[in-house]
Structure 1
């Protein structure tokens, strides 16, 4: 079986949406036997970067490109993008499910339905459009507001032709239904940003932990905190670092913080922090899960904004499978529902309570059953079953 995946998202260079789309498609293929053909409308510089982990290393991808530095090319090449989607469907008449991911005109969805009214269109929603105004650039306030309004307009028009929605969290589903009551009767697939992951290999965990703690020069009796992620404002790297600096002086043992990111130079420039207890490093993406095994506590702080309320960060699962205890603010609603005392702590601003939690849990043996129970809930092995059954029914 095959499906067609049509997107304007970044599937060519490292980022959260690439990991979600690629890992989800690989799980559909490897676990459920459903392959994907991609048609992508994307900035040509991203394709030219030839990133080793992009989608076309695993799947057939038809790239239609434009030049972001020349905005007129976006509109000029749009017809070519639409034509490629229609051509792909006509050349593959067995495709009965099309996933639409990104800001894509309802005109294309209408054309898809005109080929075969039985084709099912699923909208792939990664987050709330409110991100455009909650985390707008001060230099582009007018653009951010305009894009937010345009995205909402396009989404409402897409709804006229869609049969189901794929969302990353239950909170996102509830937000969308509240905002667009007319979709309450549509089929929803809740597929978290996770991966095709199995239970934690405990022997491998301890081996990786020992190797990377030695590599990072972390003493056996030292506590290691970690921040892993990008430099975007919503990821709160600044706040994570300063929370570490605040708590480390209160702890009766030595502590260090590992800040790891592919944007490490940007983070160092922004923070301007000089501390012997902070390690700044950048690692190959393939090494990140093993490096994370070296740490004891992981920061995943977020503000109380819609963007964060409905999100399901890739980082949650990365921290989980590396045996970290996750320090998370209460504003990522689906994640908060999954965190218990065995795998993390919900930080609401009480530094004394956080101090007690860290002292109580540092060096404490992991309750691996609790970690694996959560992994089983969010793994693609579990969350993709319903989507597989839906696609199978269309064949």
Structure 2
């Protein structure tokens, strides 16, 4: 039986595990439900490393997901299976709009047009094809394969991107990228926001900080936090290196790492020769993340200059801001580097400073920490509420789009 829904999302997205992709789609669907009463049915292909068999996940009234496992080599068959399920869904329930999430599924747009003439189809752009080839450490065989997939993906985007009614992007720079690469200029800017219904009030922050710091035995010194995966482009090794350098001038500082990839995190920490006593590594459920962020002082969000980061809008930026943290990031982080620099709310480093933190950078961090007070934390929280609250973002869709009507 097909669940009733107003939005049909067809994706190649990891909805089976707690991660940035899952949180973005879940939170966005939740905001659409709260603001407009729109329910989402997602049919998504998931890497078989994360999912053994086909699985239905009910996130709540706002979102039901049907996850289809597939290896990379089996992707064409998985897309065919997804298409069959979409056809069955559309026969039982005509939604207000279809969201295609993932470039390879743009190949379904002509089929969907024939299935439901006149339906609004939006392309959900989370990342860019350059993710496949940026970075280092690839074998020659892997790099050749990645370049082939990269070229194929770029061809699909250029050929089929203009056939949709508009695209959903996470930053203004992403909108510019899509327009430049595909000619599609009709964009809705929806950055990765924060669901403040799941966050405590700012008045509770002091109590939470004390409780969590006691729980983790963090002491009274500065606490740096890294929240995310161990993907090379997220610069965890560089984050550890920066913390280790800072700890040399302030031995009371501690590092908290929130990640599912605990073994990789342990290996990198060992390689960087960071004392285990100064680090806490935890895997926490998504709704517990706010507590651990609030206990920290500095949010590490280092990024290097490449296309992937230039158009990005990481979930953790909004979460760090909501927690009131002093954010340290790179100069090329989507729209956010400018936001931090203009508001004097964080520290923006260039690529050389990220790779090799200088004494001047370390002293700047210490100076900023000495100037921190509850009013600055509250200011960051307020800014996050004003610019990154999911419900506000969704309610402004008509304003941020040019011709696309809110489904």
In 2, the alpha carbon distance for the partners of 1:394 and 1:246 equals 48
Query: Which residue does 1:264 correspond to in 2?
Result: 262
Which moved further from structure 2: 320-329 or 75-84?
Answer: 75-84
Q: Which residue of 2 aligns with 1:128?
A: 128
Distance 1:77 1:336 in 2: 38
**In the alignment, what sits opposite 1:379?**
389
Partner of 2:379: 369
Change (3 A) 1:205 1:146: same
Q: CA deviation at 1:8?
A: 1.4
Give the unaligned 5+ runs of structure 2.
none
For residues 91 and 44 of structure 1, what CA distance do their matches in structure 2 show? 28
For 2:322, the equivalent position in structure 1 comes to: 321
Structure 1 segment 61-210 matched on structure 2, within 5 A = 61-66=65-70, 68=71, 71=73, 73-93=74-94, 95-135=95-135, 138-139=138-139, 140-180=142-182, 182-184=183-185, 187-197=186-196, 201-210=201-210
Matched position secondary structure for 1:40:
strand
Distance 1:74 1:357, change over 3 A: closer
Confirm or deny: 8 A CA contact 1:171 1:334 kept in the other structure: yes
Instruction: For 2:184 and 2:155, locate their aligned partners in 1 and report how far apart those are by CA, in whole Å.
Output: 15
Aligned-residue offset at 1:189: 0.6
Distance in 1 of aligned mates of 2:110 and 2:170: 25
> Matched residues in 2 for 1:336 and 1:200: separation?
26
Shift of 1:113: 0.8
CA contact under 8 A between 2:216 and 2:280: conserved in structure 1? no
Q: Distance in 1 between matches of 2:145 and 2:6?
A: 37
Q: Give the Cα separation in 2 of the matches to 1:275 and 1:170.
A: 41
Give the drift of 1:160: 4.2
**What is the alpha-carbon distance in structure 2 between the residues aligned to residue 205 and residue 394 of structure 1?**
36
User: What's the offset of the Cα at 1:112?
Assistant: 1.1
Cα gap change, 1:92 to 1:392, in 2 (>3 Å): farther
Instruction: Give the TM-score, by structure 1 length.
Output: 0.88
Question: Is 2:299 the partner of 1:298?
Answer: yes
Do the aligned partners of residues 219 and 159 (structure 1) sit closer, same or farther apart at CA in structure 2, a change above 3 Å counting? closer
Q: CA deviation at 1:373?
A: 2.2
2:26 is the alignment partner of 1:22? yes
Any conservation in 2 of the 1:292–1:322 contact (CA below 8 Å)? yes
Q: Residue 332 of structure 2 aligns with which residue?
A: 331
Query: Is residue 97–residue 119 contact of structure 1 (8 Å, CA) maintained in 2?
Result: yes
Does the Cα contact within 8 Å between 1:18 and 1:55 map onto a contact in 2? no
What is the distance in 1 between the residues matched to 2:7 and 2:289? 31
Q: How does 1:239-254 map to 2 (within 5 A)?
A: 239-251=238-250, 254=252
In structure 1, what is the Cα distance between the partners aligned to 2:337 and 2:122?
Answer: 27
1:269-327 per-position Cα deviation (integer Å, ceiling 9, x unaligned): 13322415521311322322101111111211000011111101111112112221111
Report the Cα offset of residue 393 of structure 1. Answer: 5.4
Distance 1:331 1:277 in 2: 33
Give the unaligned 5+ runs of structure 1: none
* 1:333 shift after superposition: 3.0
1:41 aligns with 2:42: no
1:338 is paired with a residue whose SS is helix
CA drift of 1:358 comes to 2.4
- Partner Cα distance (1:394, 1:308) in 2: 28
Equivalent position SS for 1:183: coil
The CA distance in 2 between the partners of 1:309 and 1:283, in whole Å, is 28
Instruction: Tell me how far 1:123 sits from its aligned partner.
Output: 0.2
| C-alpha distance in structure 1 between counterparts of 2:54 and 2:344, whole Å | 41
1:25 to partner: Cα distance: 0.8
Q: What secondary structure sits across from 2:21 in the alignment? A: helix
Answer whether contact 1:137 1:144 (CA < 8 A) is retained. no
Superposition deviation, residue 346 in structure 1: 1.3
CA distance in 2, matches of 1:374, 1:42: 31
The residue that corresponds to 2:13 in the other structure is 9
Q: Give the number of equivalent residue pairs.
A: 384
Distance 1:19 1:258, change over 3 A: same
Aligned match of 1:343:
345
Q: Partners in 2 of 1:231 and 1:211 — Cα distance? A: 28
Residue 145 of structure 1 and its aligned partner are, at CA, apart by: 0.5
CA distance in 2 between counterparts of 1:392 and 1:236 reads 36
